[in-house]
Amino acid sequence: MTGYDRTDLLLLGNWSHTQIALFATLALGLCVLTWLDVRDLPRPRGPILVALRALALALALALLLEPALEQKDVSLVRNHVAVLVDVSESEALPTPDGRTRLDRARDAVAAMRLSPDDPEHEFEVIAFDDGGTPITPTALQTTPAAGQATHTLETLEQVASRLGPRALGGVVIVSDGIDNGALGSRVRRGDPLDAQTADALQRLGAPVHTIATGAADELRDIAVTAVDYDEFAFVRNVVAVSAELRVLGFRASDGDLDVTLSRDGAPLQTRRLSLVDGQRDYRVEFEFVPEQIGTEVYSVSTPVRPGEALSANNREWFVLRVIRDKIRALQVVGRPSWDVRFLRQLLQSNPNVDLINFFILRTQEDVQRGSERDLSLIPFPTEELFDQQLGSFDVVIFQNFDYGPYDMQRYLPRIRDYVRNGGGFVMIGGDRSFGAGGYGSTVIADLLPVTLPASRGADSIDLGSFRPTLTAAGRRHPITRVEFDPARNASVWDTLPVWNGTNRVLGPRDGAVVLATHPTLRGANGEPMPVIAVADVERGRTMAVTSDGTWRWSFDRVGRGEGSGPYSAFWNSAIRWLIRDPELNLIDVAIPDPVVELAPGATVDLPITVRVFEPDYTPAAGEHASVTISRRALDGADGDAAELVQQTSLDIDDGGRAALRLSIDTPGAYEVVADAPLADGTERRDREVFLVLPRSRELRDIEPRPDLLAALAEAGGGRAVGPHDAVGNLEFLPAQVEQVDRREVVELWSSPWTLALLALILGGEWSLRRRWGRL
């Protein structure tokens, strides 16, 4: 047994406790029977026989149990002490002494004097963010603070699971206390530690110490923490945007704070915020009225002040899609008619249309039998409609309206400018429309898709009945596609009720698209005269319907109980086309999602699709589209120029489509512009915007939480060390788990001397029994 510090008795026999107890009981019973048999013998013969029998049974029982001696060298296993060091991005923020929070963490670890030769504790440094990685104290000096999240509890569970049954002597958490995992979601600022977290710490069975690397009162920072808005807004309606700000370390004496709402990098509104001593959280409200539909990138920002810990959180970006609430339509009518009545009823029945209509029931030349006040329902608001409110309408309809008697000549240029700036204009036939209404010598003639005679004439109207004939463009154009199936659409047009009369026009103007023609009348160029035509006029669109007979399409069908399908489809599609409904654009850029998240060091492949059509909506096969992609930096200032990312030319396939994949490795506000000008130079352009945001939650809240660390230490039975406190001695559990370094088993039962002794005892008992007459 020399060299061993512990010896234990072992029983190598494979017997259960119950079986051993049974063997012992049998042996005891045999001893009792032996005593009963020899108790009448004179002393000391009886006791000698009983003793020999008991000794033999004990020796036999020992042989059955196979006793052995276990000799071993035993030493204590060092407890494991996990030192968790936060290496997330917030640890890279500066402190007032010019160093970072991670520098403080490194100093704290160095002050702990983690000796690899400690007899009772084995120290392991674990760098953690959203998980833990063991490193050496030396490697900690060069490990960057770049983690995108902080998951304290999850890392603790990971360490405990990895150790398994190994004893845990203690835990040290070195962090700024910011957690965006389970702990942060359970315990908000100012809340006590929840019971679930406290139970998890207590189950570790070891003290949990915390060392804070930052304090809230030493932080100077202004952050836009959240922006509340609706993802969809309505054009020409008030949009409300509210921003939440957190101001730390700045006082009222530092001056007011300007908060700016920007759109596509250009300031839109600025609110001045007065700081209040002791107040941290502020809310700023913005209201504005978008004038155009589409998707735009907005941001709420504050200027970066000297001494701020972080500048990236001074701006928050978001994407707002502006759509139409209702289509505002202005219908100006020269006199009542069936055509006027049916169109007014159709527009009024559409919940998406806000209709304003004016009927001119008399002119200044009409005989008046009463005063102006008695004869007028309301004065015709010429100035209000065509000067003040014209821009608020999406489409203007002139239906058999003669501008002459109402001093409208001076307002017609306003209508021209309205169309050029994006408005829709449609003129419908009648004896006061087109050339018959004297529009040939006005600026309106330059807008219409048909050319007009310069002056009124007796031949400006043809009263013959006819059925419009669709052109090749009309068979594809959404306005005249009253049925989706081309064959059925052609069949419907062949059976529509005839029109009774039409205004005469000279032909289509350059760039116009003729959708339907007169079957017999010819224009000045000898081609069939257009009766339905459309045109793009700079940013706006115009349409001409030279007859007032479309109402018959509804009247006849309703009379037969078939509904007003073609009539409703025609005019609803016409309105959508005139207001440039995005679904009817000649070019369209499609992006899957307006907001894309980008993980650090990763690349995102974003598919971009471009559709291009001719004015008659045939696919622009074989043409080319120029695509320009630019980026504005998220941390840039308002007014900074966008950086060109990519410019390429795409080939349009037979279906009118082209596609590219954009590899993105840099966050920013991106703009995609696709251009495919028509042969005559007319612009065909669309744009889309999207945001690429870093997938990091770490810097959304950079205020240290030493109070949370203190609560963890209290629940874990440890000590909380502040950012300016000396680390001192941290107590850990003493080593209690033993390990066997050397072991030897010496069997006692297998010796031949044991068997010989048993034989000798049994032989002696037999011999004495025979001599004493007990056999």
446-474 pLDDT, tens per residue?
999 999 988 787 788 999 999 999 999 99
Q: How much is the pLDDT for 371?
A: 45
Q: What angle in degrees, to the nearest 10, is found between the helix axes of 17-38 and 45-65?
A: 160
Question: What pLDDT, in 10s, does the model give residues 510-566?
Answer: 989 999 999 999 999 899 999 999 999 988 999 999 999 999 988 866 655 555 678
Per the prediction, the chain carries an average pLDDT of 87
**Same CATH fold, 327-360+378-584 and 79-218+703-734?**
yes
Q: How much is the pLDDT for 380?
A: 59
Dihedral sign for Cα 364, 370, 376, 381, please: positive
Q: How much is the pLDDT for 2?
A: 60
Q: How much is the pLDDT for 264?
A: 85
pTM of the predicted model as reported, rounded to 2 decimal places: 0.69
| 3-state SS track over 678-740 | CCCCCCCEEEEEEEEEECCCHHHCCCCCHHHHHHHHHHCEEEEECCCCCCCCCCCCCCCCEEE
Question: What pLDDT, in 10s, does the model give residues 137-170?
Answer: 999 999 999 898 899 999 999 988 887 656 788 9
Which residues, other chains included, contact 635 with Cβ-Cβ below 8 Å and sequence gap of 6+? Answer: 311, 312, 315
Q: Identify whether the C-beta of residue 106 lies closer than 8 Å to the C-beta of residue 145.
A: no
Domain boundaries, the chain: 6-75+741-771, 79-218+703-734, 221-315, 327-360+378-584, 587-698
Phi/psi for 92 (5° steps) reads -85, -5
Which residues, other chains included, contact 633 with Cβ-Cβ below 8 Å and sequence gap of 6+? Answer: 640, 643, 668
Q: Determine what percent of the chain is predicted with pLDDT higher than 90.
A: 52
Which residues, other chains included, contact 631 with Cβ-Cβ below 8 Å and sequence gap of 6+? Answer: 642, 643, 645, 666, 668, 669, 670, 671
Q: How much is the pLDDT for 391?
A: 86
615 pLDDT more than 70? yes
Q: Output 343 or 323, whichever has higher pLDDT.
A: 343
- Number of residues assigned to the chain: 775
**CATH number of the 327-360+378-584 domain:** 3.40.50.880
Q: Identify whether the C-beta of residue 623 lies closer than 8 Å to the C-beta of residue 649.
A: no
For domain 221-315, say whether CATH 2.60.40.10 is its number: yes
Which candidate, 82, 78, 75, places its Cα nearest to that of 734?
Answer: 78
Q: How much is the pLDDT for 564?
A: 61
385 pLDDT more than 80? no
Exposed/middle/buried for residue 4 (C-beta within 10 Å: 0-12, 13-18, 19+): middle
Please compute, for residue 365, the number of CA atoms within 13 A of its CA located in the half-sphere on the CB side. Answer: 4
Among 81-95, 155-169, 579-593, 687-701, name the most confident range: 81-95
- Token code pair at residue 206: 């070891």
User: Where is average pLDDT lowest: 41-45, 183-187, 492-496, 663-667?
Assistant: 41-45
Q: Identify whether the C-beta of residue 627 lies closer than 8 Å to the C-beta of residue 650.
A: yes
For domain 587-698, say whether CATH 2.60.40.10 is its number: yes
Question: What pLDDT, in 10s, does the model give residues 239-280?
Answer: 999 999 999 999 999 999 999 999 988 899 999 999 999 999
Q: Identify whether the C-beta of residue 210 lies closer than 8 Å to the C-beta of residue 230.
A: no
Q: How much is the pLDDT for 33?
A: 83
**CATH number of the 79-218+703-734 domain:** 3.40.50.410
Q: Averaged over 326-354, what is the pLDDT?
A: 89
Task: Report how far residue 765's alpha carbon sits from residue 771's, in angstroms, rounded to the nearest whole number.
Answer: 10
The CA-to-CA distance between both ends of the chain, in Å, stands at 45
| 3-state SS track over 55-96 | HHHHHHHHHHHCEEEEEEEEEECCEEEEEEEECEHHHHCECC
Instruction: Spell out the long-range contacts of 251-260 with Cβ–Cβ below 8 A and sequence spacing 24 or more.
Output: 251/275, 251/277, 252/276, 252/277, 254/305, 257/222, 257/302, 258/302, 258/303, 259/224, 259/284, 259/300, 259/301, 259/302, 260/300, 260/301, 260/302, 260/638
Q: Averaged over 106-135, what is the pLDDT?
A: 91
pLDDT band at 750 (very low <50, low <70, confident <90, very high): confident
Q: How much is the pLDDT for 105?
A: 96
Sheet containing 469-470: give its strands across. Answer: 353-359, 327-333, 395-399, 424-428, 540-545, 528-537, 513-522, 469-470
Beta bridge partners of 272: 258
Count CB-CB contacts under 10 A for residue 91. Answer: 28
